[in-house]
Amino acid sequence: MIQQKIITYTIPTEKKDLTLADWQEYREILTNPELDEVYKEKMAIKIFCKIPFNHIDQLKSVDYAEIIFNLSNIFNERTEMVRHFNHQGVKYGLIPNFDKDITVAEKADLDMYLEAGDLVRLTSILYRPIVFEKGDLYTIEPYSGTHEKFNDLPYDIAENVLDFFLTLLHELQKHMTGYIERMAQKIKTNSTFQGQQKMLLLKNIEALRL
> What's residue 46's pLDDT?
95
pLDDT of residue 161: 78
Average pLDDT of the residues of the chain:
79
Q: Residue 158: name the closest of 112, 113, 99 by CA.
A: 113
- Tens of pLDDT, residue by residue over 31-78, are 888 999 899 999 999 999 999 999 999 888 888 888 889 888 888 888
Q: How many CA atoms lie within 13 A of 162 on its CB side?
A: 19
Averaged pLDDT for residues 102-106: 88
Query: Tell me, what's the pLDDT at 179?
Result: 43
Which residue type sits at 159? Answer: E
Q: pTM score, two decimals?
A: 0.72
Residue 86 binned pLDDT confidence (cut-offs 50, 70, 90)? very high
User: Nearest to residue 108, comparing CAs of 206, 183, 159, 176?
Assistant: 176
| Cα-only R_g, the chain | 23
